[in-house]
Amino acid sequence: MKAQSLHGHLDALLLAVLEQGPLHGYAVIEALRTGSAGQLDLPTGTVYPALRRLERAGHVASTWSTVNGRERRTYQLTDDGRRALAGERSGWREFRTTVGRFLDTGPASTAPA
């Protein structure tokens, strides 16, 4: 699945991944890949800017650490990010229900009565 297909949903996916606990950037990418059975194989050029955008918005916080001599940034969800994720989930349920009225049914059930 291409990053373009996720337009409008990437931030929610990143927040949901970070809800499980702090992760460094590459681990976020791997969590998306494994959690989607390989369907979400997003490039770093998509994920890292989104993480920085979420940080600027106050939804995630980051810290730098050195592991095996290499610097890496670890991201974690903030309280504001948890509230944003709850809102995203609510919006997703409403979207899924509304669109499902059309896409989850056959042509006969969408025809006017």
Distance CA 91, CA 81 (A): 15
DSSP assignments along 9-27, one per residue: THHHHHHHHHTT--EEHHH
Is pLDDT above 80 for 4?
A: no
CB 74 within 8 A of CB 22: yes
- CA torsion 43-16-56-22 (nearest 10°) is -90
Distance of CA 29 to the CA centre of its chain: 10
Q: How confident is the model at residue 6 (pLDDT cuts 50, 70, 90)?
A: confident
The mean pLDDT of the chain is: 90
Residue ranges of domains in the chain, CATH in brackets: 3-103 (1.10.10.10)
Q: Which helix (H) or strand (E) holds 86?
A: helix 79-103
